[in-house]
Structure 1
Amino acid sequence: MTAAPTDDLVARLRAAGCVFAEDEAAALLTSFVEPVALEGAVARRVAGEPLELVLGWADFAGVRVLLEAGVFVPRQRTAYVVDLAARVVSPGSVVVDLCCGSGALGLALASRIPGLVLHAADVSPVAVACARRNLAPVGGQVHLGDLDAALPDGLRGRVEAIVANVPYVPSESVALMPRESREHEPLFTVDGGADGLDILRRVAGLAPRWLAPGGSLFIETSEAQADAAVAAFADAGLGARVHHDEERGATVVAGRLRG
């Protein structure tokens, strides 16, 4: 494609408020070769649809994650969960990805450490179908159910790591989120209740019955919520530590089942 159309595309994206217009233009031009398809994709992006949903994939923690409408788009900061969990698992470890959405966390972890026994679960049929597409190549099994309800009983007491990207935005703050998220991601994937920690508390509470002695739970939260999250982990019998990555603006609470 000539420089002029590319410049025009960048200008259209920038005018629509796309901060990384040049990068987005390059991704669109690579993914949509036919002019009609490209124009349709650009129109969707200019109208406010997340780039990842327009493309049908997201680059996350070194892997390409397939996406579709109605599925939460993984944030780059959440790769910190993968970094931390990778330190405590090895080939053959049982790993569970709860609130898995597209399966991004499990896929990235299994791609980094081949040979994991990976299970994932989500309450959304759309997310489960998407996660199955992503996790099939790494042998992951995806279950439809509320949190751990559909996990096989045989996993109890055997899980080395649970990773969970739970919704943690306080209900009254959802209206302040970017329009992309408010209009194109299901509310239940971002709304964490009055203080944002409703699902985190539930996951912390169920984790001990699945974790092996010394097993770990990793959940992303905000820096402001970290102390309350640590208290929730402690109430569940988990020793907890807060990890913060300043560069990515990421905060993860890691809990360990004493054994």
Structure 2
Amino acid sequence: MLLPSSLASLSATADVLRRAGCVFAEDEAALLHEAAASPEELALLVGRRTGGLPLEHVLGWAEFCGRRFAVDAGVFVPRRRTEFLVRHAVALAPDPAVVVDLCCGSGALGAVLAGALDRVELHACDVEPAAVRCARRNLGGLGVVHEGDLFGPLPERLLGRVDVLLANVPYVPSADVELLPAEARVHEPRVALDGGGDGLDVMRRVAADAPRWLAPGGSLLVEASERQRDAAVEVLRGAGLSARVVVCEELYATVVIGTAGTRDPVGRGRVPNPGGQD
């Protein structure tokens, strides 16, 4: 058991964290000292962290796009690489915009996007009750959070009206989940990590239904690993969307963007846009 006296300084706390395997021990020590109201609380927080709890769950928040969002125990922690997806979503959003954030987790993606737009109607969905509660706290009056599987809980009035569809779906192949760091494997919901046999099962489900929900010219944005990028492009193209890939080497981020066709002027449905890959 950690004694408060053994954590009196930042350097002492960092030493304890480093011995526990925390790579960014100095940074984490500073955040834990900031969060603790007393030496006793600091010892409790450090004990939780060295016991394997993700730092974000210890602190109760995660930083995303320069803002702090509540992240409760059992809720998927937004990754920094996903900021790249949000940046592209902001660039694609019209004014006004209808935005849907599927697999929303803490709601951080939708909240950042809504905050960057002047006029937005935002809907977020997640199947995990803990995530839904957390997203409602983070979004406040910015949007509506629905509990349910993918598009299931969305109101039908959104059919054909969604300009930007964020879908930060799980894409880790089932066989690789056990290879993830314990922080994710043990403390985050498996449904937020496991993407099925090749990691693209949930993406396929989203892509299959996306054309019904997207507005003409609307965009679906999904994350994938570098090795999945070509298969992900084919998934989106197979659903009738044009598809392109954007990559950020700095963040190790790969985003696949699918775009719905425009309406035929005589009402014969959508005309697909030419596909492409960056």
CA distance in 2, matches of 1:112, 1:39: 38
CA distance in 2, matches of 1:39, 1:235: 53
Identity of aligned residues (%): 56
Equivalent in 154, 157, 174 of residue 154 of structure 1: 157
Query: Computing the radius of gyration over CA atoms, which structure comes out larger, 1 or 2?
Result: 2
C-alpha contact (below 8 Å) 1:216/1:254 kept by paired residues = yes
CA distance in 1, matches of 2:106, 2:162: 21
The reply on whether 1:200 has 2:220 as its aligned counterpart is: no
The reply on whether 1:116 has 2:120 as its aligned counterpart is: yes
Equivalent in 229, 240, 244 of residue 241 of structure 1: 244
Equivalent in 183, 188, 202 of residue 185 of structure 1: 188
TM-score under structure 2 length normalisation: 0.90
C-alpha contact (below 8 Å) 2:214/2:260 kept by paired residues = yes
SS in 2 for 1:87: helix
What is residue 47 of structure 1 aligned with on the other side?
Answer: 51
Q: 1:4 to 1:246 in 2, by over 3 A?
A: same
The ranges of structure 1 where at least 4 consecutive aligned residues each deviate by more than 4 angstroms after the TM superposition are none
CA distance in 1, matches of 2:94, 2:41: 43
SS in 2 for 1:79: helix
What is residue 215 of structure 2 aligned with on the other side?
Answer: 212
CA distance in 1, matches of 2:144, 2:95: 16
Aligned length: 257
CA distance in 2, matches of 1:18, 1:92: 44
Equivalent in 37, 62, 68 of residue 72 of structure 2: 68
Equivalent in 135, 140, 147 of residue 139 of structure 2: 135
TM-aligned CA deviation for residue 62 of structure 1: 2.1
CA distance in 2, matches of 1:210, 1:252: 20
What is residue 28 of structure 2 aligned with on the other side?
Answer: 24
* Structure 2: unaligned runs, 5 residues or longer: 263-278
What is residue 274 of structure 2 aligned with on the other side?
Answer: none
CA distance in 1, matches of 2:14, 2:117: 38
What is residue 5 of structure 1 aligned with on the other side?
Answer: 9
CA distance in 2, matches of 1:115, 1:213: 19
Moved more, 125-134 or 90-99: 90-99
C-alpha contact (below 8 Å) 2:94/2:163 kept by paired residues = no
CA distance in 2, matches of 1:203, 1:105: 17
Equivalent in 247, 256, 259 of residue 259 of structure 2: 256
Q: RMSD value over aligned CA atoms?
A: 1.3
TM-aligned CA deviation for residue 164 of structure 1: 1.1
Q: 1:114 to 1:59 in 2, by over 3 A?
A: farther
What is residue 268 of structure 2 aligned with on the other side?
Answer: none
Moved more, 3-12 or 64-73: 3-12
Aligned residue identity for 1:171: S
CA distance in 1, matches of 2:66, 2:240: 33
Q: Deviations over 1:28-85 (max 9, x none)?
A: 1111121111111110001111000000000101221111011101110011110110
TM-score under structure 1 length normalisation: 0.96
Q: Deviations over 1:144-199 (max 9, x none)?
A: 11100000111111110000111000011111100111110111110100000000
TM-aligned CA deviation for residue 110 of structure 1: 1.2
What is residue 168 of structure 1 aligned with on the other side?
Answer: 171
TM-aligned CA deviation for residue 4 of structure 1: 5.8
CA distance in 2, matches of 1:133, 1:33: 23
What is residue 266 of structure 2 aligned with on the other side?
Answer: none
CA distance in 1, matches of 2:42, 2:94: 42
